[in-house]
Amino acid sequence: MKINTIGLGYIGLPTSLMFAKHGVNVVGVDISETLVDELNQGQVSIKEPGVADYLTKALEEKRFRASLKPESGDAFIIAVPTPNSADQFESCDIRYLVQALQAVLPVVRAGNTIIIESTIAPRTMEDVIQPFFETAGFTIGRDLFFGALSRKSIARKNTRRTCSK
Ligand SMILES: NC(=O)c1ccc[n+]([C@@H]2O[C@H](COP(=O)([O-])OP(=O)(O)OC[C@H]3O[C@@H](n4cnc5c(N)ncnc54)[C@H](O)[C@@H]3O)[C@@H](O)[C@H]2O)c1
């Protein structure tokens, strides 16, 4: 099995390495060239216990590699930032999420699963993500399968700056 994780921060990197630890081949994608280079050299900048060791092992076993571009695979896990907007509702700014969707679209195939780990407001799946893939010709539930995960308990300390509503 091969997955892509999009966004290699506090959520995407540990998630990638846990999948790699369990035998999944993971392409970790980020827009930061520096981050991609550092991770491929085994350097971890986030402060999460154990992550550096998991990265070393995943690189040794060739289960994980960082890249600037997504590749075809079985599933895509999107974990890019969705910071609060400056409006009165502090609504989620989904511009990075939309960028990530645009980046994966050329390599998405029928049968794939797409999981949104980024924090999104209710109805974002129905109003934004589903129409995005339907416009590209996919039928949701037949060609593509969606999931959204919520696990606020693992949020890092500055959740104030990310969308938590
Ligand atoms: N699902 C959950 O249970 C859960 C829990 C906590 C946080 N979150 C959410 O996960 C998201 C990510 O949080 P984080 O703390 O990992 O963020 P982070 O800032 O630590 O990392 C995000 C990474 O995404 C990269 N990125 C930005 N735009 C990109 C793009 N278009 N393509 C590829 N990479 C891109 C950045 O360079 C960065 O490395 C946020 O929306 C956060 O609210 C979800």
Ligand 1 atom closest to the CA of 116, numbered from 1: 1
Cβ–ligand 1 contact at 6 (below 6 Å): yes
Ligand 1 atom closest to the CA of 35, numbered from 1: 39
pLDDT digits (tens, 9 = 90+) for 12-71: 999 999 999 999 999 999 999 999 999 999 999 998 899 999 999 999 999 999 999 999
* Both structure tokens of 117: 């780990």
Q: pLDDT at residue 163 above 80?
A: no
- Cβ proximity of 151 and 79 under 8 Å: no
- Provide the residue range defining the domain that includes 11: 1-165
Question: If phi over 0 gives left and psi between -120 and 50 gives alpha, with beta otherwise, what is residue 72?
Answer: beta
pLDDT digits (tens, 9 = 90+) for 85-131: 999 988 999 999 999 999 999 999 999 999 999 999 989 999 999 99
Cβ–ligand 1 contact at 7 (below 6 Å): yes
CA of 160 to the centre of ligand 1 (A): 14
CA 143 – CA 86 distance, rounded (Å)? 37
CA 155 – CA 71 distance, rounded (Å)? 28
Ligand 1 atom closest to the CA of 152, numbered from 1: 5
- pTM tops 0.85: yes
Cβ–ligand 1 contact at 68 (below 6 Å): no
Cβ–ligand 1 contact at 30 (below 6 Å): yes
Give the containing element (helix H, strand E) for 103.
helix 95-104
CATH number at residue 25: 3.40.50.720
Q: Which residue has the higher pLDDT, 84 or 163?
A: 84
pLDDT digits (tens, 9 = 90+) for 147-162: 877 655 554 543 334 4
Domain count, the chain: 1
